[in-house]
Amino acid sequence: MEYKKFLMFGDSITEFSFNTRPQPEENLGDQFALGAALTNDYSRKLTVLQRGFAGYNSKWGLKILPKILEYEQNIVIGFIFFGSNDSCAGGPQRVPEDEYESNLHKSVQMFKARSIKPILVGPAFYDSSKWEPSRQDEVRQGYARSNEGFIRYGKITASVASKENVPFLDLRAAMEREAGKNWTDFLVDGLHFNGKGYEVFYKELLQAISDHYPEYHPYNMAITPPYWKYVSEDESKLD
Amino acid sequence: MEYKKFLMFGDSITEFSFNTRPQPEENLGDQFALGAALTNDYSRKLTVLQRGFAGYNSKWGLKILPKILEYEQNIVIGFIFFGSNDSCAGGPQRVPEDEYESNLHKSVQMFKARSIKPILVGPAFYDSSKWEPSRQDEVRQGYARSNEGFIRYGKITASVASKENVPFLDLRAAMEREAGKNWTDFLVDGLHFNGKGYEVFYKELLQAISDHYPEYHPYNMAITPPYWKYVSEDESKLD
């Protein structure tokens, strides 16, 4: 029984998207998780592949992507979400703007070469007051993120999406629309998303799928194997 | 990039195991979800496959299993969890005890033939006072579940596990140990699990993996591709 696949491809924000307890020390209970919600929506429709790699940038992603695509047949749709590491002003994770742009183009083209519908996602918000206190050494060496960096790399992402004629999820705009100046509500530690942040991501993603690739919106897909009542009437439906 | 796989194989309790909002009407927020927790634990270690089919029994499961195994290469471990439908006293979902037993043996043997480490799970608890009020017609026709049925089919599951020398998760005993007479705390609608129920399932599952197949316990598995700091020192690690 063969299911087509949805590829979640990106850095830590993608890797952590099945974690319902991102803040265990704060005893907040369980939270919304993007990957869990997608898997639930696509149950018996698509296999959802979590391929997020904490700390990775678009350069390392590009080295991995061909290996993922070579092994995983039948991916039909997916997102590419880097930038939060690439946009560091310095340090080992930094990828310069022109290289980030080129990496995204190449990644999208790899998707297209395999008839995978791409969705691009760019960095959202960054709260240095939460992320940096424990990382003062790095910051002093110029190894630091910034909202300015996130905005610049977000614009590059949007521009690549436009040139490649594929949808772009503007999470920054979506979070601003929903919470205005209270965008820190969407973050766990200044960088990663909490359940509220992932829920904004989820809604934007489903909307983009509905707008651009409606054939892959969960509501438009039939389940395999069929509903048990049909099976109970005619078990040959499972042959 | 090839990941080995964890197969979650069963009925609705397996299918719904990525749903963090099983009781949306009661506004309880998000809850623990077994499938999400497993996917999070096995991130960059194993691909977790959700193959749950609401309403299915062990007979229909057995028709599907060869198709799953034919298409999904490299499954190395997984659970088989039916019985909550099989044990109906009548109606289209019912599977007689001897056939249930035989179906489980065959399913375990299919796992073994492919060197997949099997874990058997049996039905837990049933609260007719929640499930049946909206299904009075069915109940009058003898199409009904019962705790007696769950206990009988649970014992068959344990016995098959013992004969096959594979681990059995006794969710009923685990829930009783944790909550005593308050076992209804683990159910959403009298039949399906809420987050608390899935968390018992999760703990029992990880314990069984630790006891019987420690090489597949998440703590004992290395991540692929490597931690980003190692990559940043030597990018050839991604070649």
- Look at residue B23 in the predicted model and tell me its pLDDT: 83
Residue A46 clears pLDDT 90, i.e. is over it: yes
Q: Do B55 and A229 touch (CB under 8 A)?
A: yes
Cα distance between residue A137 and residue A22, in whole Å: 25
* Chain A residues with CB-CB distance to B195 below 8 A: 30
* Chain B residues with CB-CB distance to A218 below 8 A: none
The helix (run of H) or strand (run of E) holding residue A173 is helix A171-179
Chain A residue with minimal CA distance to B2?
A71
**How far apart are the CA of A55 and the nearest CA of chain B, in angstroms?**
5
Q: Mean pLDDT across the stretch A164-191?
A: 96
Mean pLDDT, 10 residues at a time, over chain B (239 residues)? 96 98 86 98 98 98 97 97 98 98 98 98 96 92 95 98 98 96 95 97 98 98 97 94
* Chain A residues with CB-CB distance to B31 below 8 A: 20, 30
Question: What pLDDT, in 10s, does the model give residues A107-158?
Answer: 999 999 999 999 999 999 999 999 999 999 999 999 999 999 999 999 999 9
**How far apart are the CA of B151 and the nearest CA of chain A, in angstroms?**
24
Q: Which of A20, A53, A67 sits opposite B33 (nearest CB)?
A: A20
| Three-state secondary structure readout of A75-139 | EEEEEEECCCCCCCCCCCCCCCHHHHHHHHHHHHHHHHHCCCEEEEECCCCCCHHHHCHHHHHHH
Question: What pLDDT, in 10s, does the model give residues A187-234?
Answer: 999 999 999 999 999 999 999 999 999 999 999 999 999 999 999 999
Cα distance between residue A78 and residue A61, in whole Å: 14
Q: Do B71 and A228 touch (CB under 8 A)?
A: no
Cα distance between residue A48 and residue B207, in whole Å: 26
Distances (CA, A) of B94 to B12, B51, B88: 15, 21, 5
Cα distance between residue A127 and residue A12, in whole Å: 16
- Look at residue B26 in the predicted model and tell me its pLDDT: 80
- The parent domain of residue A110 ranges over 5-238
Q: Mean pLDDT across the stretch A172-185?
A: 95
**Where residue A138 sits, what CATH number does that domain have?**
3.40.50.1110
Distances (CA, A) of B213 to B41, B117, B198, B219: 16, 8, 21, 12
Q: Which two tokens stand for residue A113?
A: 């070469």
Q: Which residues contact B88 (CB under 8 A, 6 or more apart)?
A: B94, B143, B144, B145, B149
The CA-to-CA distance between both ends of chain B, in Å, stands at 11
Burial class (CB in 10 A: 0-12, 13-18, 19+), B219: exposed
Q: Which of B49, B64, B239 sits opposite A225 (nearest CB)?
A: B64
Q: B170 catalytic, yes or no?
A: no
Residue A80 clears pLDDT 90, i.e. is over it: yes
* Chain A residues with CB-CB distance to B36 below 8 A: 18-20, 33, 35-36, 39
Q: Do A40 and B56 touch (CB under 8 A)?
A: no
Cα distance between residue A184 and residue A127, in whole Å: 7
Q: Would you give the DSSP letter of residue B43?
A: T
Number of domains into which chain B is organized = 1
Dihedral sign of CA atoms A159, A165, A171, A177 in order: positive
Q: B192 catalytic, yes or no?
A: yes
Q: B127 catalytic, yes or no?
A: no
Q: Which of B36, B47, B229 sits opposite A35 (nearest CB)?
A: B36
User: In which residue are the tokens 């919106």 written?
Assistant: A217
pTM above 0.90, yes or no: yes
A1 band by pLDDT with thresholds 50, 70 and 90: confident
**Mutation site, B38, B51, B53, interface A, largest A CB count within 10 A:** B53
- What number is the ipTM of this complex? 0.97
Q: Count the alpha carbons within 13 Å of A118 in the hemisphere toward its beta carbon.
A: 28
Using alpha carbons, select from A90, A88, A92 the residue that is nearest to residue A123.
Answer: A88
Catalytic residue among B30, B43, B105, B189: B189
